[in-house]
Amino acid sequence: MISAKVLQQLAETHGTPLFVIDHDEVRSNYAAFKKYLPRVQAYYAVKANPEPAIVKTLFDAGASFDISSIAEFLVVHENIKDMPEKERHDWILDNIIYANPIKANETLAELDSYKPLLTFDNLEEIKKIRQYAPNSRLVLRLRVSNAGAMVELSSKFGAEPDEAVDMILEAEKEGLSVEGLSFHVGSQTTNFENYVQAIDLAALIFREARERGYDKMNLLDIGGGFPAPYDESVRPFSELAKRINAELDRLFPADIKIIAEPGRFIAGTAGTSVSKIIGKAVRHGKLCYYIDDGVYHTFSGIIFDHCRYRMGSFKEGPTQICTVFGPTCDGLDVISMTEELPSNLERDEFLYSRNIGAYSGATSTWFNGFPPATVVHVNR
């Protein structure tokens, strides 16, 4: 963890708002994922935080990548662009999955020469892939329970389990190769039973496919959702990994490749924001602080990710429940209505928020003309 003293020094040097990325934490989280899920190949979900320096750190550590757009593909591609053509193509075959089930025609056409690994979840997508990316290798995404997830995804993506094998056979009829199954239990899933149920369901569909004559699947993608330790309510990752390992070993032989798409788990604890108090007022009897970062910027996860970020002060003093507002004119720009902070903070002093590395700066805007936070990378 980057110390409070270093965070203050960075803010004084670079100004605020500031978004500090701890690359040692990125490496540590990736190593923990590999340690506790040794059978699972980690494909970092670039959407969680697409900073090129994070992607480079993970590439150097041996990670693979889950992408959802051509822009994300190009961020990853920067790390392999100087490889010989065949080596580059082989690396993409083994290390990238395009895990967005719905893709534009232009995206498919651009990816086709790489023989990409793509997810799909409906019959219309099969036709589209057949027309624009016939060299693709496919993974069918299943609809599974997202109960207990902070961000629910099953209403938007996933084939119904009772239609899964029919869809696989339809893809084969169109000349496409379905190599496996995938699922996503929802982002920041603290209900570990979701993984157990989804793995069991995938095993049943593997078996049904074989019984109906399709025996070409050799891959299971257990998706993302691995929870970042935002607070003490999140049970240890090692506990979740133990449950996942037991089900994988029980239901899937060693020749089935297992992959996953951790994003938040790797990036979440690696980011810290530092902001400056630009105003202070008492409204309706309540102390309010206004800072130079907000929900249109680093704290966008409050809106888009249903996440709450705790604020801290470098200064000590008597505390009280405060409201913290962002800098824009929008009444939506509220970081917290119930933040316990010192009541003696003054203009130009700093606040900070840890564990803000995922789905935060990734969705920053320039609303009201306020720029996104300056990003600083720290390698300890």
pLDDT tens track for 147-204: 654 555 566 789 999 999 999 999 999 999 999 999 999 878 878 899 999 999 999 9
Q: Which residues lie across from 50 on neighbouring strands? A: none
Q: What pLDDT shows up at residue 154?
A: 65
Q: How far is CA 108 from CA 176, 270, 348, in A?
A: 14, 33, 49
The C-alpha torsion from 240 through 241 and 246 to 251, rounded to 10°, is 100
Contact call for residues 336 and 291 (beta carbons, < 8 A): no
Q: What pLDDT shows up at residue 191?
A: 84
Classify residue 83 by its DSSP letter: S
Q: What pLDDT shows up at residue 3?
A: 94
Look up the pTM and report it: 0.94
State whether residue 260 is helix, strand or coil.
strand
Q: What pLDDT shows up at residue 189?
A: 80
The one catalytic residue among 288, 307, 322, 329: 329
Burial status of residue 310 (CB atoms within 10 A of its CB: 0-12, 13-18, 19 or more): middle
Enumerate residue ranges in the chain where pLDDT < 50. 149
State whether residue 222 is helix, strand or coil.
coil
Contact call for residues 301 and 363 (beta carbons, < 8 A): yes
Report d(CA 336, CA 150) in Å as an integer.
18
| Catalytic residue list contains 288 | no
**Structural domains in the chain plus CATH codes:** 4-19+269-378 (2.40.37.10), 23-268 (3.20.20.10)
The torsion region of residue 221 among left (phi > 0), alpha (psi -120 to 50) and beta comes to beta
Q: What pLDDT shows up at residue 192?
A: 87
